[in-house]
Amino acid sequence: MGPYPDWDQEPLDAEFNMHRLFEAADQDALIRDHAPSIRGIATRGELGASRDLIAALPALEIIAVYGVGYDAVDIDACRERGIRVTNTPDVLTKDVADFGVSMMLALTRGIVGGDGWVRNGSWAEQGLYPLQRRAYGTRAGILGLGRIGLEVGRRLAGFDMDIAYSDITAKDEATDWTFVADPVELARRSDVLFVTLAASAKTRDIVNRNVIEAVGPDGMIVNVSRASNIDEEALIEAIRAGQLGSAALDVFEGEPNLDRRFLDLPNVLLQPHQASATVETRKAMGKLLRDNLTAHFAGRDLPTPAL
Q: Which residue out of 154, 237, 255, 261 is catalytically annotated?
A: 255
Q: Which residue out of 155, 188, 226, 290 is catalytically annotated?
A: 226
| Residue with smaller CB distance to ligand 8YV, 69 or 219 | 69
| Residue with smaller CB distance to ligand 8YV, 66 or 194 | 66
Does 45 help bind ligand 8YV (rule: CB under 6 A)? yes
DSSP assignment of the chain:
-----HHHHHHHHHHS----GGG-SSHHHHHHHHGGG--EEEEETTT-B-HHHHHH-TT--EEEEESS--TTB-HHHHHHHT-EEE---STTHHHHHHHHHHHHHHHHHTHHHHHHHHHTTHHHHH-SPPP----TT-EEEEE--SHHHHHHHHHHHTTT-EEEEE-SS--GGGTTSEE---HHHHHHT-SEEEE-PPP-GGGTTSB-HHHHHHH-TT-EEEE-S-GGGB-HHHHHHHHHTTSS-EEEES--TTTTS--GGGGG-TTEEE--S-TT--HHHHHHHHHHHHHHHHHHHTTPPPSSB--
| Residue with smaller CB distance to ligand 8YV, 190 or 228 | 228
> Is position 296 annotated as part of the catalytic site?
no
> Is position 255 annotated as part of the catalytic site?
yes
| Residue with smaller CB distance to ligand 8YV, 71 or 167 | 71
> Is position 226 annotated as part of the catalytic site?
yes
Question: Which residue in the set 40, 42, 44, 86 belongs to the binding site for ligand 8YV (CB under 6 A)?
Answer: 44
Does 188 help bind ligand 8YV (rule: CB under 6 A)? no
Question: Which residue in the set 1, 92, 207, 306 belongs to the binding site for ligand 8YV (CB under 6 A)?
Answer: 92
Residue list 237-256, contact with ligand 8YV (CB under 6 A): none
Does 99 help bind ligand 8YV (rule: CB under 6 A)? no
Q: Which residues are catalytic?
A: 226, 255, 273
**Which residues are at the interface with ligand 8YV (CB under 6 A)?**
44-46, 66-69, 92, 273, 276
